[in-house]
């Protein structure tokens, strides 16, 4: 079983990765039609892992109260950014988030 420190570290790591992915999304959308082969496949695979594994895991930690105040704030900002980028995510044909982006709703 993971310790609290290990869990906190994993949460921070996943938040950082998702924040970086979302920060890159506008540039990626501009370059997507010119990308081919491996780079495109790698990003699609990483995005799927993020949406189907990491984001649901973060959501469970958030809803169970296992995030620090800072992590919770980062998670809420991440969901807000996902809402903002929904048209871009759609345009790229990427998987939509598998959790509710409104924290007032159940996933």
13-26 confidence digits (pLDDT tens): 999 999 999 998 99
* Number of independent structural domains in the chain: 1
pLDDT at 106 over 70: no
User: Among candidates 42, 53, 69, which has minimal Cα distance to 18?
Assistant: 53
pLDDT of residue 2: 60
Tell me, yes or no, whether 104 lies in a domain. no
Residue 32's Cβ-count burial label (10 Å; 0-12, 13-18, 19+) is middle
Tell me, yes or no, whether 73 lies in a domain. yes
Rounded Cα distance between 23 and 78, Å, is: 10
pLDDT at 54 over 90: yes
Mean pLDDT over residues 49-74, rounded? 95
Q: What is the dihedral of CA 68, 63, 85, 74, to 10 degrees?
A: 0
pLDDT, tens digit, 9 for 90 and up, residues 3-16: 788 999 999 999 99
Tell me, yes or no, whether 33 lies in a domain. no
Domain, as residue range, for 46? 4-27+39-92
């Amino acid at each position: 079983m993971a310790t609290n420190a290990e869990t906190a570290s994993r949460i921070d790591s996943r938040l950082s990765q998702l924040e970086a992915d979302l920060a890159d999304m506008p540039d990626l959308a501009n370059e997507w039609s010119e990308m081919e082969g491996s780079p495109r496949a790698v990003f699609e695979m990483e995005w799927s892992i993020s949406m189907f594994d990491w984001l649901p895991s973060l959501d469970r930690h958030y809803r169970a109260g296992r995030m620090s105040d800072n992590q919770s704030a980062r998670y809420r900002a991440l969901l807000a950014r996902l809402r903002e980028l929904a048209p871009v995510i759609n345009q790229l044909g990427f998987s939509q988030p598998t959790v509710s982006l409104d924290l007032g709703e159940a996933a």
